[in-house]
Chain A
Amino acid sequence: MAEAKLAEAPATEAGIEVLSVKDLQAWYGESHILHGINFSVKAGEVVTLLGRNGAGKTTTLKSVMGIIGKRTGSIRFDNQEIIRTTSDRIARMGIAFCPEERGIFSSLDVRENLLLPPVVRAGGLSLDQIFTLFPNLKERLSSQGTKLSGGEQQMLAIARILRTGARFLMLDEPTEGLAPVIIQQIGHTIARLKSEGFTILLVEQNFRFASTVADRYYIVEHGKVIDGFANSELSANMDKLHTYLGV
């Protein structure tokens, strides 16, 4: 099927490292959560962080986004150090975040939710393109944001960051609690975005879902990255993976 191209902005040349995290440590108040995270993401890749609950995957995303109070080490994005940058400026550099709890605003209707994140650079998806990807949203534009079903809320949470022109997306457990048919739709969307040159950092508990979209994996345990491998090495690493994830 010939699909119209979604994004017009040129992607960073594929293969160039866009995100590089070195010895990242992070704290929630007094508790030390990340103890030295190291990983990198190249332009055009879908990279998935795997690990058990509480391993530090979400905290890693939040640290990259700049919304963890205390963090040390190094996070380089597009060759700029952002470990001390505030989250609003990180967003303006072209990183967009879709949080695990989805973060749909109840005091805003669907249209307002969709239009909330400001456009940070040219080339984001138009509303028409978004409605092509997620037709459900178009019919619910004047509903209260939190009146949508879980699947629709997840689509809204992804849709609104596609408008901004950001080319680096961080999705935190986009399939959590959703019906298989919706998970499939989100999988198609991620594959589509990847084919258009978006770079995606994914956190997933659903390993089977991750294996359908990811290029590479990192295993996070006790606040550290303990292993990493490419999707092509997946079958060779299955035993290890079962041990890591305890599944």
Chain B
Amino acid sequence: MQALYAQLLVGLINGSFYALLSLGLAVIFGMLNIINFAHGALYMMGAFVAYFLLNLGGINYWWALLIAPVIVGIFGMILERTMLQWLAGLDHLYGLLLTFGLALIIQGVFQNYFGSSGLPYSIPDVLKGGMNLGFMYLPIYRAWVVIFSLIVCIGTWYLIERTRLGAYLRAATENPTLVRAFGINVPRMITLTYGLGVGLAALAGVLSAPINQVRPLMGENVIIVVFAVVVIGGMGSIMGSIITGFALGVIEGLTKYFYPEASNTVVFVLMVLVLLVKPTGLTGRAA
């Protein structure tokens, strides 16, 4: 039983990262119509920025949670202004290829300087240790990651679905031309949205640094699963990507307990099944 709970927790942790990453992808896809293949590389950059802040500037984890998403978000906005914006209105394939190329370049640069092995990033002191819950041992940092991710996801959902700013975003996702003709600077909104999406990826990177170490290829491994999550949840649906992210993490964890051989493929099996039955994803709207 101990092992089952432990796997469930691992599943929830992975689910937190899936949710944060697929949420960002969904926001970006809705507004820019771009499938952001650079998402994994930007997640990795988030972890590296936290690492640099700590080791070069002595800036701790808590500040990194704030600063790394901002720095990576600004980097993302520069990418959007200089490159992605020119792809507006073209086929998805162009955005996919460009961001895929960007991911390879970014990862290549980091790999060139840092190799493929992991750099250590320690858990902040207050989150060290764990609690014995009786039925299992709960590391405090892991509990923190799950709870904090949930808060960020729900906060993002609230921002998009319940605020004035979110209404602009939803409207511009539906009909950017008309929203612009109402006097709203839609190109600037698109840039900020891309910044928000990659900022979420960088935040996930910082959260993951103490658990998974800081590695140039850390994004490459996770992003493939995240794309499956997005396909299952439905491209462009905010709540769908959050719920699917957590749910698939848990399903993966359970599979690891009951049938470990399938744990790496279960997400993709589910993806195939969903695509066969409902090609727009569980919560997706027809494009």
A residues neighboring B (CB under 8 Å): 65-67, 86-92, 96-97, 99, 103, 105-108, 112, 115-118, 120, 161, 164
Contact = CB atoms under 8 A, between A and B. Distances in A.
Contact of B179 (A65, A89, A90, A116): A116
A161 B171 CA distance: 15
Contact of A107 (B174, B180, B182, B186): B174
Contact of B181 (A67, A105, A115): A67
B177 interface: yes
A66 B181 contact: yes
B170 A105 contact: yes
A118 B183 contact: yes
Nearest to A95: B181
A97 B180 CA distance: 11
Given A87-B177, A103-B178, A115-B164, A108 B183 contact: no
A89 B180 CA distance: 9
B170 A67 contact: no
Contact of A108 (B167, B180, B184): B167
B175 interface: yes
Interface of B: 164, 167-168, 170-171, 173-175, 177-186
Given A67-B177, A87-B177, 14 more contacts: A67-B181, A86-B180, A88-B186, A96-B182, A97-B178, A99-B178, A103-B178, A105-B175, A106-B174, A107-B170, A112-B171, A116-B167, A118-B183, A161-B182
A105 B184 CA distance: 15
18 contacts: A66-B181, A67-B180, A88-B180, A88-B181, A88-B185, A88-B186, A89-B183, A91-B180, A91-B181, A91-B182, A91-B183, A96-B182, A97-B178, A97-B181, A105-B174, A112-B171, A117-B183, A164-B183
Contacts of B178: 97, 99, 103
A86 B185 CA distance: 9
B181 A65 contact: yes
B181 A108 contact: no
Contacts of A91: 180-183
A108 B169 CA distance: 10
B171 A108 contact: yes
Contacts of A112: 167, 171
Contacts of A107: 170-171, 173-174
Contact of B183 (A99, A103, A106, A120): A120
A128 to B, nearest CB: 20
Nearest to B183: A91
A116 B181 contact: no
A28 B185 CA distance: 22
A66 to B, nearest CB: 7
B191 to A, nearest CB: 14
Contacts of A87: 177, 180-181
A97 B175 CA distance: 14
Contacts of A115: 164, 167
A171 to B, nearest CB: 14
Contact of B168 (A90, A106, A116, A120): A116
B180 A116 contact: no
